[in-house]
Structure 1
Amino acid sequence: MSQLRIAIVGAGPAGIYAADLLLKAERDVDVSIDLFERLPAPYGLVRYGVAPDHPRIKGIITALRDVLDRGDVRIFGNVNIGTDITVEELRDYYHAVIFATGAVRDAALPVPGLELEGSYGAADFVSWFDGHPDVPRDWPLEAEQIAVIGNGNVALDVARILVKHPEDLASTEIPANVAEGLASSPVTDVHVFGRRGPHQVKFTPLELRELGELRDVDMILDEADFPDAETTAALVAGNKQIMVIDRVLRSWRERETGQASRRLHLHFWAKPLEFVGDEAGRVRALRYERTAPLPDGTVVGTGEVRELPVQAAYRAVGYYGSPIDGVPFDEARGVIPNEGGRVSVDGVQIPGVYATGWIKRGPVGLIGHTKSDAMETVSNLLADGELWWTPEHPEESAITALLDERAVAYTDLDGWHRLDEHEIGLGAGERARVKVVPRDEMIRISRGEG
């Protein structure tokens, strides 16, 4: 074998890290990598899952761009594996495939009323405000009181964007249609609900601290949600992250409120029971049960049920992977079943098929965890030489010929550079970029078609 041909499906951090590690790993053969992405632009959730007012996190794109710009990885954007090319067909062109398709759908929230008008998934809302090309350009922002279910960073992103004054997003890469939609919102109160207490949240301290820096927004907390000083001291002892979170929450509890035009309420010990609808089938309230802690760290319902009037409710309880035609899928966990990245069914490895990132382990961990995750998958792939496929057309030109024959309007690295420069130019030096949102426009610019 003169060259090991690898296909990686998904050009987000997981896929790009896997490509980088493959090329840097000790091996006996040359490696040639083709990176496939169903969107016209790379970077996955860093581009379409991180709030526009988080430029520090979006700075990860710089490291990912450095990998692509080395020139030793080819990228094929706007190619959907499963339709444009089947998984079975990949066997004819590659020795193995790594799936790094992430998780972009909302996890289930088993409560009645999810079908009501005004009930939304956080993933869809995040895709909208991040200018994802495959979601509608408009978003219904008609509610004055809004509930957000979840105590993780995505819940905070959703709450922050909903309550933040749109003019304070003007310097970010927020698309024009999103700015216009947020400007029309009549919101006055956003309520964030979590089943556990204030010292068990999944927020990172930085995300939480940012909430308190919002202009003209009061932070509202209920003293009944917080334990006494002795219990608090025991909870924060030896845990720096919890200590910082406690300090932030305590500072908000000491603030004067009542002057801001908008309020962000944090509700702890609150388990959602139902999105309550009106006669027209719209959300009119959130019904929830107060919870209490058990010695093992879990919570139990107290039987005290409350109802809060809201006109919209967003569930931010986690992400869930999407199945790919021709690849095993674990419906319960929303992942491709695997052992150390080796895709398997009932413990039996499927030759030549691997997974990394959230589609491998589920939507847990920060972006930085993805690199160590990819290392495991790459190491196992390189150790599995006897299980690699034997492609009939391993030459690099064969896959481009196939895409051209099928008239797939794929984008490449030069095309991404064209789109990148175009978006930066739209920012006119006043902000990092203005995203191009319509898919057909992204493709046209990337392919240099006028």
Structure 2
Amino acid sequence: MSGHKMMFSGLKLWTKGISRPAWISRFYDGMNGSGNASFSTCSPKVCIVGSGPAAFYTAQSLIKNVINTFTQTAKHSRCSFYGNVNVGKDVSVKELQQAYHAVVLSYGAEGNRSMGVPGEDLAGVYSAKDFVGWYNGLPSCRELSPDLSCETAVILGQGNVALDVARVLLSPIDILKKTDITQPALEALAESQVRRVLVVGRRGPIQVACTIKELREMVNLPNTRPDMVAADFEGVTEALKDLQRPRKRLTELMLKTALEIPGEKEKQNKASRFWGLRFFRSPIEILADPDHNRTAGIRLGVNRLEGSGEGARAVLTGEVEDVTCGLVISSIGYKSIPIDPSVPFDSRKAIVPNNMGRIEQAAGLYCSGWLKTGPTGVIATTMNNSFDTARSMVEDMDLGTLDVSAAKTGSQSICALLEKRGVKPVTFSDWEKIDTVEMRRGEATGKPREKLLTVEEMLQVAQKNN
């Protein structure tokens, strides 16, 4: 796309929340000013709803391929950022479509997938999304206050998020003090009694969803010892030869961790904390304490696999296993939620039905990121996914299936609409004030940043001297 004649002349990001990178949220405006389009005298105006990686990669692809950071994208002369705007509430998708030639929905997957088992509403059961939001300073999760007084925690799911949670639960507090984990979370983790974390998956080692980087961080975590079940790895050595390189390297590390003693015996003997991957298990029920007030354990169904490789399917055998624990964290996946009644939505797959990012039966509407594909892949997957959506849009403009000949008001009319409704957007320069304050607060304690934990605090900082 770098050699394309079209010049997008203004991209603006509107967001539902006010947050830091990776939590910035929800809404891009775009394309105004004079432009250089081979097919039209009018410069295309595009609105991107979202501001996570998928939104920024989509914007990056539309503006200029050589831009390689989200901050550069947000600061680009043809891009504007508007935070604190809730699409579907403060402004409708229909209103955005009236103001822009195209609207890209890229607001991610904010919902939790339910386990669908008895007892999942007991105290002591949390979603990984909320638990991560708690220690990362997401305002909506600041009141979570998880009870960490138990010895054993069980994490359901074996993706990168699951291992990240396990690492935070078991990391020495001196290591966590050097990160941007919030002060309330640090204080809670310093008092934590959790000494053993089991990371449970319904399939086997060859189907595990994490990447080697996250597994290596767990293997190398100070003062911890891996606790694996050797029987889970039967036949895995023979299967190595048929695996592709990334999967092969990951599996070899798991095998080494499970079947050999990693590191010196003395270090292992001194370890006071333990973690382990448990395979071929599915949650059947969360077990309550005698008073039925909180979690006391989890009942796991034992699985066998039908098929082989990454397409193997887990089937319950009827055998069960009970694990005593006081903390259960569900990391079985995120799901997208509908944003506006006017937008088609597949509630079973939890995605917007689309063809290469073109939303079905909705001309001028596009999607990217997890809303497009479901919650799958790593950051490179999201990047390519977003670039593909941008490519689809450009193709539609070239072919004339996306009409950009009519003049559109873009952010001018949307800003007026929001002002009338009493909604004050936060610009990227406002967001940078928040970023600066957080980093200065962090400097005082030797951390990368100390986060503001409420939207009210963020708005006070953002609007100062405006």
The normalised TM-score by structure 1 is 0.84
Shift of 1:356: 0.9
In the other structure, the counterpart of 2:347 is 331
After superposition, the CA RMSD in angstroms is 3.4
Does the CA contact (< 8 Å) of 2:152 and 2:196 recur in 1? yes
Query: For residues 223 and 303 of structure 1, do their structure 2 counterparts lie closer, same or farther at Cα, with a shift above 3 Å needed?
Result: same
In the other structure, the counterpart of 1:187 is 194
Secondary structure class of the residue paired with 2:139: coil
| Residue 162 (structure 2) aligned to one of 144, 155, 167 | 155
In the other structure, the counterpart of 1:423 is 438
Q: What letter corresponds to residue 271 of structure 2 in structure 1?
A: A
Query: For residues 419 and 34 of structure 1, do their structure 2 counterparts lie closer, same or farther at Cα, with a shift above 3 Å needed?
Result: farther
Unaligned runs of 5+ in 2: 1-6, 57-66
Shift of 1:271: 2.0
Does the CA contact (< 8 Å) of 2:117 and 2:285 recur in 1? yes
In the other structure, the counterpart of 2:89 is 83
In the other structure, the counterpart of 1:277 is 288
What pairs up with 1:352-431 in 2 under 5 angstroms?
Answer: 352-384=364-396, 385-388=400-403, 394=409, 396-428=411-443, 430-431=446-447
Deviations 1:22-72 (A, max 9, x none): 9999864534455555xxxx547999xxxxxxxxxxxxx971111112232
In the other structure, the counterpart of 1:116 is 122
Distance (whole Å) between structure 2 residues aligned to residue 26 and residue 79 of structure 1? 30
Does the CA contact (< 8 Å) of 1:94 and 1:389 recur in 2? no
Distance (whole Å) between structure 2 residues aligned to residue 289 and residue 396 of structure 1? 53
Q: What letter corresponds to residue 117 of structure 1 in structure 2?
A: A
Does the CA contact (< 8 Å) of 2:29 and 2:45 recur in 1? no
| Residue 107 (structure 1) aligned to one of 88, 102, 113 | 113
Larger mean Cα displacement after TM superposition, 88-97 or 122-131: 88-97
| Residue 289 (structure 1) aligned to one of 289, 298, 301 | 301
| Residue 342 (structure 1) aligned to one of 358, 366, 381 | 358
Q: Percent identity?
A: 31
Query: For residues 20 and 236 of structure 1, do their structure 2 counterparts lie closer, same or farther at Cα, with a shift above 3 Å needed?
Result: farther
Shift of 1:8: 6.1
What pairs up with 1:46-65 in 2 under 5 angstroms?
Answer: 63-65=69-71
Distance (whole Å) between structure 1 residues aligned to residue 226 and residue 326 of structure 2? 20
Query: For residues 19 and 369 of structure 1, do their structure 2 counterparts lie closer, same or farther at Cα, with a shift above 3 Å needed?
Result: farther
Shift of 1:378: 2.1
Does the CA contact (< 8 Å) of 1:101 and 1:359 recur in 2? yes
Larger mean Cα displacement after TM superposition, 79-88 or 402-411: 402-411
Does the CA contact (< 8 Å) of 1:20 and 1:67 recur in 2? no
In the other structure, the counterpart of 2:64 is none
Is structure 2 residue 269 aligned with structure 1 residue 264? no
Is structure 2 residue 316 aligned with structure 1 residue 301? yes
In the other structure, the counterpart of 1:251 is 256
Matched residue pairs, number?
Answer: 426
Shift of 1:390: 8.7
Larger mean Cα displacement after TM superposition, 20-29 or 394-403: 20-29
Larger mean Cα displacement after TM superposition, 438-447 or 129-138: 129-138
Distance (whole Å) between structure 2 residues aligned to residue 119 and residue 285 of structure 1? 10
In the other structure, the counterpart of 1:240 is 245
Distance (whole Å) between structure 1 residues aligned to residue 432 and residue 13 of structure 2? 20
Secondary structure class of the residue paired with 2:217: helix
The normalised TM-score by structure 2 is 0.82
Is structure 2 residue 455 aligned with structure 1 residue 439? yes
Secondary structure class of the residue paired with 2:348: coil
Shift of 1:101: 0.4
Q: What letter corresponds to residue 367 of structure 1 in structure 2?
A: I
Query: For residues 283 and 236 of structure 1, do their structure 2 counterparts lie closer, same or farther at Cα, with a shift above 3 Å needed?
Result: farther
In the other structure, the counterpart of 2:464 is 448
| Residue 99 (structure 2) aligned to one of 81, 93, 100 | 93
Query: For residues 395 and 364 of structure 1, do their structure 2 counterparts lie closer, same or farther at Cα, with a shift above 3 Å needed?
Result: closer
Shift of 1:7: 6.8
Q: What letter corresponds to residue 416 of structure 1 in structure 2?
A: W
Shift of 1:363: 0.7
Distance (whole Å) between structure 2 residues aligned to residue 92 and residue 271 of structure 1? 48
What pairs up with 1:169-188 in 2 under 5 angstroms?
Answer: 169-188=176-195
Q: What letter corresponds to residue 260 of structure 1 in structure 2?
A: A
